[in-house]
A and B are shown apart, each in its own frame.
Chain A
Amino acid sequence: MIICIASGKGGTGKTTVATNLARSLSGDVQLLDCDVEAPNAHLFMKPEFKHNEKITTPVPEVDLERCDFCGKCGEICQFSAITVIGQKVLTFPELCHSCRGCLMVCPREAISERGRELGLLQKGLSGPVEFIHGRLRIGEAMSPPLIEAVKGYIDPEKTTIIDAPPGTSCPVIVALKGSDFALLVTEPTPFGLNDLKLAVGAVRILEIPLGIIINRSDVGDDRVVTYAKEEGIPVLMEIPNDRKIAEAYSRGIMLVDVDPTMKARFQALHKKIGELIP
């Protein structure tokens, strides 16, 4: 079972839910932190990384001995990543989407590939939980292929929990795709509701069953609850605003360690999710 924790708005508590859910379940569990731009789950899970892997994406390299400057590579490239000017070929690897069009279209086999570093993938154990995350290289723009690489470690024999990035564009879609359930964490504020609606739209495009968790449930207004009712989306858990929780979070201490009764609540949440998956 793959459960993806997403939110639309950032800072609503995705990582709190993902890490505490992973920690509370028994059996084979893996946690994938797919928020590769701002990965934070490891600060709570404190895994011991045993495996480090540099993730790259192919970009073109031109052999000027073979090139006759015909310009076909520049014509096919939709991303302005390669262009021929007179007797020069300019490449902009940071703009390349790795479609291999230039390589395929070159009549003189003058183009080969090298890897552009996207970031680092790390894997290790946090107690019994298998932990995997990606760390986007500073200055790298494209997170989706790194998220794909992290998801490449999904083990169908395990319960997989994915911590998704905020927003509703490509990185979130890549993180959500193929999940059995989307758990949207929100807060009962106008920003929380606005971005929740966007996230629900994204999940519905992918046709994934979904539920909502309301964090800091006693601060704000009741419009999220009303919205959930109108849309027929189950509210699976409410976590009250508690300064103690916030202070513990600030130190990297998990919710289940501050309040051990939360463990049973996360187990119950998991059970409810199981019942909602067709």
Chain B
Amino acid sequence: MKELTIISGKGGTGKTSVVASFAALAQNKVLADADVDAADLHLILAPDIKHEEDFKGGRIAQIDLDRCTECGECRERCQFNAISPEFVVDKIDCEGCGVCVHFCPVEAIDFPQSVCGRWYISETRFGPMVHAKLGIAEENSGLLVSLVRNQAKVLAEEQGYDTVIVDGPPGIGCPVIASITGTHAILIVTEPTLSGLHDLDRVGGLAAHFKIPTFACVNKFDLNEEMSDQIAEYCASKHIGFVGRIPYDTGVTYAMVASQSIVEFSDGPVSRAIRQIWKKLEGFLKDKA
């Protein structure tokens, strides 16, 4: 089983539109949406949920005011200013470290595990999909990303699928690290803008840090062809496999409005470019298998 993770650094470059197309093109695969705090892949794949479970993340401190003597020990020790002068824990600020729980002299602080999201195994028109929803303003997105990837892997192994395609989050922090550690290949979807190149450099650096084979493609390349050339040169200098240029086409938006991937919606230049990119990646994953 081989796993491909799609990321971008900069948000909104077209990751999910590309993944939705790969979903239509790839054979014998499991899909995983690892962008758990702004998941969008389900809007195209219309998953039919077969199994769902709570995601329990970290713990949160809860002060029982009946037992509390207001000694102030907890407030002094909390590094996150999460306890008010009235001894109420701010759920958003609490880091779940348990320091207050440990040091409370009258054991007035409970430390329950909190449910911070939900995860799903679904059936789609393109095969099985594992996805999740992180509660709004919740922490532990990295843990949930790892859980989604793991479930997708288990499903692939149990049912004999040979590829897992992961739609990753933007950025380079905790959820991105969780979505690429140990993956077999990365595709970075970027755009021909200064911001796109700047963030490609950061996320490409992260992929190199983890020594993962990395590919890149430019979406909307004809918005600035000079910048697209610059990105291709940059990739060559950093050992990032440059696998294609996707033209700008408002058809991509209309496909999205119609809840379809672009390769289902039209057979125009965008679809042809994505097909070629998939062929190259598919070849790489097969060679590795």
Contact = CB atoms under 8 A, between A and B. Distances in A.
B9 A38 contact: yes
Interface in B1-30: 8-13, 16
A167 B224 contact: no
| A11, A15, A171, A194 pick with most chain B CB within 10 angstroms | A11
Contacts of A168: 37-38, 134, 136-137
Interface string B117-151: 00000000000000000101111011000000000
Contacts, number: 184
A276 B194 CA distance: 34
A165 B11 CA distance: 9
Interface string B27-48: 0000000000110100100000
- Interface residue range, chain B: 35 or more
Interface string A220-254: 11000000000000000000010100110111100
B281 to A, nearest CB: 22
Contacts of A138: 172, 202, 205-206, 209
B18 to A, nearest CB: 13
Given A104-B103, A167-B37, A40 B97 contact: no
Contact of B10 (A8, A10, A142, A243): A10
B146 to A, nearest CB: 12
Given A15-B195, A194-B40, A169 B139 contact: yes
A182 to B, nearest CB: 13
B114 to A, nearest CB: 13
B257 interface: yes
14 contacts: A10-B38, A11-B12, A11-B13, A38-B170, A43-B194, A97-B95, A142-B173, A167-B141, A170-B141, A191-B256, A195-B38, A241-B250, A249-B193, A251-B193
A71 to B, nearest CB: 14
B198 A43 contact: yes
Contacts of B80: 99
A86 interface: no
Contacts of B192: 250
Given A141-B177, A166-B171, A104 B257 contact: no
Interface string B46-69: 000000000000110000000000
A130 interface: no
Interface residues of A, number: 58
A30 interface: no
Interface in A42-83: 43, 76, 78-79
B253 interface: yes
Interface in A183-222: 189-191, 194-195, 198, 201-202, 205-206, 219-221
Nearest to B210: A139
A98 interface: yes
Interface string B204-226: 01100100000000001001100
Contact of A251 (B77, B99, B175, B194): B194
Interface string A1-41: 00000001111100100000000000000000001011010
Interface in A157-180: 165-171, 173, 177
Contacts of A11: 10-13, 191
Interface of A: 8-12, 15, 35, 37-38, 40, 43, 76, 78-79, 97-101, 104-105, 136, 138-143, 165-171, 173, 177, 189-191, 194-195, 198, 201-202, 205-206, 219-221, 241, 243, 246-247, 249-252
Contacts of B171: 35, 37-38, 143, 165-167, 171
Contacts of A79: 97
A171 B43 contact: no
A226 B274 CA distance: 33
B14 to A, nearest CB: 8
A248 to B, nearest CB: 10
| B37, B138, B198, B205 pick with most chain A CB within 10 angstroms | B37
A6 B177 CA distance: 22
B79 interface: yes
Given A79-B97, A190-B40, A250-B227, 16 more contacts: A10-B11, A10-B170, A11-B12, A35-B171, A38-B203, A76-B98, A97-B95, A101-B98, A139-B206, A167-B38, A169-B141, A190-B256, A191-B256, A221-B257, A250-B194, A252-B193
B238 interface: no
B95 to A, nearest CB: 5
Contacts of A177: 92
A189 B58 contact: no
Contacts of A8: 38
Contacts of B172: 37-38, 136, 138
Nearest to A16: B195
A105 B102 contact: yes
A142 B194 CA distance: 25
A173 B43 contact: no
A167 to B, nearest CB: 4
Contact of B195 (A37, A40, A105): A40
